Chains A and B, each alone.
Chain A
Amino acid sequence: MTDTTPEITTVYLAQLDTELDQLPEDLHRDIVNGIREELEGLDGEAAAARIQQLGDPAFIAAGARAETPNQAPLVGTDAPTPGRAFSITAAVILIAGSLLIPGLGAVAGLVFVSQAKAWSRREKTTAWLTPVGVALLAMATVALMSAAGVGGAHLVVLVGYLVFPAVGVTLAVRAQGRGWRA
């Protein structure tokens, strides 16, 4: 079957969909469906007249937002994310601290990461366990290399040294990707 929906209707509904993007899902759906019902079956001329009555999609979205005071904070606004500065600091301490003060710096960084709001409990647990896993693997590798008489154990130690900054960078990238929210 050929879609006979006039272009003006398709464009209007697409704009509306975009403008309502930040609203709660059920409200977003109700508004789009309610307006789609109203435009369905109208030819281009009738749809244009109805669209004029309905108003600009941005105006409709603003009205809905004004009546939805408890909606989640808008993504992309200037409003700072709670704890964002602390979370960034935690990532910096983990990366820089573990490079500058091996051992103590890494532990301090992980303690800060554990207190930050940008990561889930699972991510925090992984951040603690990854270096332990890598350390165990490094020790096993060194033991195997020694037994086999192969040199280059210092490279394994280097891997152990770099694992903390690597964890810090991974956490920072993940948090940055979602606006420093857990």
Chain B
Amino acid sequence: MTADVGAQLRKGVVEYCILGLLDREPMYGWQLSEQLVQAGLVASIGTLYPLLGRLRTQGLVTAFNQPSATGPVRKYYRLTPLGRDQLNAFRLQWGPFTASVHRLIGEDTRD
């Protein structure tokens, strides 16, 4: 069994969390990074870009350039239809999965 359970759990879900954020609206790198770092899912913006690269390679996410209100053109990321399908498939499994795990491990009620 691995000692760093948190790292393994994060690894398993972080790509779906990116899909989940992009399902709300297209986002640029820093926007995504801020939310994921705050949630403890990535260590830094450096961790995010390889994940985005993989998602783009798999055709789940696509990128486009858009000028921002404050000036610079930003690269935004958004879900593809395939990405949305993948996210929906994950959502269908996530609820029952976490319920099953919770049923099995429960909470430590011993004093």
Q: Which of B47, B72, B74, B75 contacts A67 (CB under 8 A)?
A: B47
Q: Does A110 have its Cβ within 8 Å of any Cβ on chain B? A: no
Verify A37–B53 contact, CB threshold 8 A: no
Q: Which residue of A lies closest to B44 (CB)?
A: A63
CB neighbours of B50 from chain A (8 A): 27, 64, 67-68
Contact flags B38-77 to A (C-beta < 8 A → 1, else 0): 0000111111011111000000000000000011111100
**Docked-complex contact A55 and B75, CB < 8 angstroms:** no
Q: Which of B1-51 contact A (CB under 8 A)?
A: 28-30, 34, 42-47, 49-51
Cβ of A35 under 8 Å from chain B: yes
Q: Is the CB of A37 within 8 A of B75?
A: yes
Nearest residue, chain B, Cβ from A38: B30
Instruction: Tell whether, in the assembled complex, residue B47 and residue A66 are in contact, meaning their CB atoms are under 8 Å apart.
Output: yes
| B73 touching A63, Cβ below 8 Å | no
**Which chain A residue lies CB-closest to B14?**
A67
A78 proximity list for chain B (CB < 8 A)? none
Contact B30 A60 (CB under 8 A): no
Q: How large is the interface on A (under 10, 10 to 19, 20 to 34, 35 or more residues)?
A: 20 to 34
Are A30 and B53 touching (Cβ within 8 A)?
Answer: yes
Asked if residues A30 and B52 are in contact (CB atoms below 8 Å), the reply is yes
Binary contact track A30-71/B, C-beta < 8 Å → 1, others 0: 110111011011000000000001110001111110111000
Q: Determine the chain A residues whose CB is within 8 A of the CB of B44 once the complex forms.
A: 54-55, 59-60, 63
Measured in the bound complex, the distance between the Cα atoms of B34 and A60 in whole Å is 13
A30 to chain B, nearest CB (A): 5
- Answer yes or no: A3 CB below 8 A from chain B CBs: no
Given the contacts A64-B50, A67-B51, A37 and B45 also touching, CB distance less than 8 Å = no
Contact with B along A149-167 (1 / 0, CB 8 A): 0000000000000000000
CB distance from A40 to the nearest CB of B (A): 4
State how many angstroms separate the Cβ of A47 from the closest Cβ of chain B: 13
* B74 proximity list for chain A (CB < 8 A): 37
15 A-B residue contacts at CB 8 Å? A30-B49, A31-B45, A34-B28, A35-B29, A37-B73, A41-B71, A59-B43, A60-B45, A62-B46, A63-B43, A63-B44, A64-B50, A67-B47, A67-B50, A68-B50
Interface residues of B (CB under 8 A from A): 28-30, 34, 42-47, 49-53, 70-75
A-B pairs with lowest CB-CB distance, top 9 = A60-B46, A63-B46, A34-B29, A67-B50, A63-B47, A64-B46, A40-B72, A63-B44, A38-B30
Residues of A within 8 A of B (CB): 26-27, 30-31, 33-35, 37-38, 40-41, 53-55, 59-64, 66-68
